[in-house]
Structure 1
Amino acid sequence: MIRLSFLFKAGLSILGLLLVATLGFFAWQSFYPVQAAAGWQVRVEQDDVPKAASLAPLADGSLMVSLELQAGKGSIVRIHSDGKRETVVGGLSKPDGMVAAQGGWVYSQETDGAMVNLLKDGQITHLFEGFSAQGLWNDGAVLYAIEDRQGNGRLLRYRWSDQTLTVVRDGLNETESITRCTDGRLLYTEKQAGVVRQLTEDRRDPVVQANLNQPTYLMCDQRGLWISEDSTHRARLLLIDAQGERHAILSFLKAPQSIVRTAKGTYLLAEGGRNRVLELLPPPVGAGQ
């Protein structure tokens, strides 16, 4: 009887140690500081930005941010250079994508039946209905929107001149972002599959990047293709350079979202999992990436 009691207590002790170790591991992943690649620097630009998703720096130094909260609690907020914040649009449900267009801003909501809207001069114009629409890209004459759905997502093309809407692709699975690169390629992500595809006229849409950890937002500039990984643990911000080499510019992120380049040559990254916006400072000129 004494031996059974000893074994029972020993078993409880082992289970307790395993529980503590597991909790410690997840705490480590959540609170371990973000790491930058050699030569790069990172700092917190804005804190207390709940579920920060899309970013848009403005010419006056202010910043537009979509707060991806659910059930009408989401909003688009403008953070002024003096730190003052104003709600530009409220009462939204998972506002995710945001892009400059037609002298204003188009925004999407990642919920079924929500409209993709144009905000201009304080007025909101309904453009078309989306079903979990997320990524947006304005190509001048047309606007692209892509839906984040399980197996029945669509890539939509809206023509500004006559307001016609065309389904470019359907049957998509967890497609979250779309962007055009400086070389003319139109790229989009498949989060669950961990790939980035190129939109092609023959509809084959080849994979151009694979083995990614839940890729979400894309952005292209002169440095290459930027990819953020929407993972809650040990996510990365990747840069694919002109030679096709992959660089982990930031690691140990938590659910990073959109990345944008600022007028001063730095980058801003929405880290939705930690409710903040990070500023990324590139290496000095001549110091590589």
Structure 2
Amino acid sequence: MTFRARRPPALLLATLIGLLVSGLAFLAWQHLYPVSAGQGWSYRVYLDEVRLVSALARDTRGDLYVTQEMKAGNGLLFRLGSDGTRQQVVGKLSKPDGLAAWREGVAISQEEGEQPVLWLRDGHTETLFTGRSVEGLASDGQALYAIEDRPGDGRLLRYDALTKQVTVLREGLLEGEGVALCPNGELYYAEKGHRWIKRWRPQGDDQIVLDGLNAPGFIACTEDGLWVAEDATHRARLLLLDKGGVLHTVLSHLRSAQTLLALEPGRFLLAEQGRGRILEITRQAKATR
């Protein structure tokens, strides 16, 4: 006869409760753990209580625009006044997830299905072109670049303002989310599904510049280097790949980081969708002796 030790019911129940409490504590830790700034950086809450905040942009007049990424025609674009007031500018959008200053106005993308990319100027909108799940936008003032967040059939697009033609630069992308144009003309794009950032090359054979990221979403290029905001629910980061090829963690423990907007050298805004707010990030001045 074989005997097996039987765990007392009370001990088994205590074990299960302990595992449940540990799991809940871990989830609470991920949710509540505050954002941490890397060495040489600081942050503060710039604007709070912005449900599903996503894209940020400033037009040539300096007006600040913000999108709220609601679905099914419930998304909207508002203008934020210097006193914190919000004025709705465009409504009935479907997941407006990208903004770019473009030709004395702003271009607006919509990620939900087949939707037009819009151009807002002087209070009026017009359709530029139609894409499929368009997310990130970038511009050099003349051309408008867009990327589609699709499960393996996304495209990297360029829209020419003069010819009004759309050129497909790349196709077959897996969850393309971010696109960035650098001051030197280099073009980068992020594929969230592959966890990488690539530099686009006209001849093909695009180069991977960052890999193994945690849900890379928005990317931007400034004189500091290439910025990456991770669109992960927990433990997301804001990263900076400087011109020397060194990767810096500017902020960590973010929740669904979205658009980074440069205001001036050393000062930025970051949309943190998971906490419904916009952060202001500042490079700290070096102490002088």
Alignment of 1:261-280 (within 5 A): 261-263=262-264, 265-280=266-281
1:218/1:286 CA distance change after superposition, 3 Å:
farther
Cα deviations across residues 221-265 of structure 1 (Å, max 9, x unaligned)? 121111111111111000111110111010000000011111474
Structure 2 unpaired stretches of 5+: none
The answer (yes or no) to whether the contact 2:58–2:101 under 8 Å persists in 1 is: no
- Is 1:15 matched up with 2:16? yes
Structure 1 length-normalised TM: 0.93
Match of 1:217 in 2: 218
Alignment of 1:107-186 (within 5 A): 107-186=108-187
Match of 1:283 in 2: 284
Secondary structure, counterpart of 1:23 in structure 2: helix
Distance 2:82 2:59 in 1: 10
Match of 1:95 in 2: 96
The answer (yes or no) to whether the contact 2:54–2:273 under 8 Å persists in 1 is: yes
Q: Which moved more, 1:109-118 or 1:134-143?
A: 134-143
Secondary structure, counterpart of 2:221 in structure 1: strand
Secondary structure, counterpart of 2:29 in structure 1: helix
After superposition, the CA RMSD in angstroms is 1.8
Match of 2:201 in 1: 200
CA displacement at 1:63 relative to structure 2: 2.5
Match of 2:243 in 1: 242
The answer (yes or no) to whether the contact 1:235–1:251 under 8 Å persists in 2 is: yes
Structure 2 length-normalised TM: 0.93
Match of 2:106 in 1: 105
Match of 1:252 in 2: 253
Matched to 2:244, the amino acid is Q
Matched to 2:132, the amino acid is F
Distance 1:266 1:59 in 2: 18
Matched to 1:46, the amino acid is L
- Is 1:32 matched up with 2:30? no
Matched to 1:218, the amino acid is I
The answer (yes or no) to whether the contact 2:139–2:181 under 8 Å persists in 1 is: no
Matched to 1:274, the amino acid is R
Secondary structure, counterpart of 1:262 in structure 2: strand
Distance 1:76 1:270 in 2: 14
The answer (yes or no) to whether the contact 1:61–1:80 under 8 Å persists in 2 is: no
1:59/1:44 CA distance change after superposition, 3 Å:
farther
The answer (yes or no) to whether the contact 1:132–1:149 under 8 Å persists in 2 is: yes
Matched to 2:103, the amino acid is Q
Matched to 1:15, the amino acid is L
The answer (yes or no) to whether the contact 1:61–1:81 under 8 Å persists in 2 is: no
Distance 1:260 1:140 in 2: 16
Distance 1:212 1:248 in 2: 12
Instruction: Report the count of equivalent residues.
Output: 284
Q: Which moved more, 1:56-65 or 1:10-19?
A: 56-65
Q: Which moved more, 1:183-192 or 1:143-152?
A: 183-192
Distance 1:242 1:97 in 2: 26
The answer (yes or no) to whether the contact 2:186–2:199 under 8 Å persists in 1 is: yes
Secondary structure, counterpart of 1:183 in structure 2: coil
Matched to 2:53, the amino acid is A
1:286/1:261 CA distance change after superposition, 3 Å:
farther
Secondary structure, counterpart of 2:189 in structure 1: strand
Match of 2:191 in 1: 190
1:60/1:202 CA distance change after superposition, 3 Å:
closer
Distance 1:182 1:121 in 2: 27
CA displacement at 1:280 relative to structure 2: 0.5
Cα deviations across residues 47-105 of structure 1 (Å, max 9, x unaligned)? 00111111124677752111111122211111111121111111111101101112111
Distance 1:246 1:9 in 2: 51
- Is 1:84 matched up with 2:71? no
Matched to 1:219, the amino acid is A
